[in-house]
Amino acid sequence: MAATADDTEEHTAGPASPSPPARRRMGPGAMLVSALGELLITAGLVLGLFVVYSLWWTNVLADRAADKQADEVRDTWAQGPGAGAGDGDGPATFDSKNGIGFLHVPAMGGDDILIEKGTTMKVLNDGVAGYYTDPVKATLPTSGKKGNFSLAAHRDGHGAKFHDIHKIKDGDPIVFETKDTWYVYKTYAILPETSKYNVDVLAKVPEESGRKKAGHYITLTTCTPVYTSKYRYVVWGELVRTEKVDEDRTPPEELR
């Protein structure tokens, strides 16, 4: 016999679903913990974005600015004799507004590092190295005078041009390129850590490096440890020779 509609309902209908339990309200303590957790997550995200900005995006912006300025310097050099405005401390081919030349340090990767006047954040944040004007004035190699060509650059962020300064060893070459001359230095002393207030490392005769007599020195300075600015890392070099720049701008053997 066929099942009736009533029979079907009787056999297919199941027990009624129990009502869901009432949701417990969070107490004041739990609400506070939840709010703090959300704040910590947000703070972590903001901090992460700041780190990305500081250590990556500032490098991108600084490298763009430095490349543009470097191109302007080389274009000025290509204009021939007399191009560029002198700053009173070297020949007229020096233009300290856009840059005075390029630093080459094979141990740090060998990139062309544009050198400009000054060591303020405004200068260094453009991804360049700067020569000191305060508290001790650097002696430019082009002056022909004995002294210390003291430089600074960022180690992290804003181009991080001296990031690998710790890779420089005794005897490694440091080369300064101008429009007309290659200045070849040889590393002879390294100070891995000193106070940021130690200006004696910039002296015309850097006695902390072991030298006692006037000479033609170069000093590289940057922050240390990495990702901090608590101390300074210092590298000293001494001029071993100069070479005239030829028509092809053939680099000295230390850079080949």
Single out the catalytic residue among 104, 158, 166, 223. Answer: 223
Torsions phi, psi for 57 (to 5 deg)? -65, -35
Q: Is the peptide bond before 81 cis (omega within 30 degrees of 0)?
A: no
Place of tokens 């094979």: 106
Check if 163 is active-site: no
Single out the catalytic residue among 104, 154, 158, 163. Answer: 154
Check if 166 is active-site: no
CA dist 142 to 22, 40, 94, 109, 150, Å? 84, 55, 9, 25, 14
Q: Are strands 113-117 and 129-131 parallel, antiparallel or unpaired?
A: parallel
How many angstroms separate the CA atoms of 202 and 157, rounded? 24
Q: Is the peptide bond before 20 cis (omega within 30 degrees of 0)?
A: no
CA dist 107 to 62, 104, 241, Å? 21, 9, 19
Residues marked active site are found at 154, 223
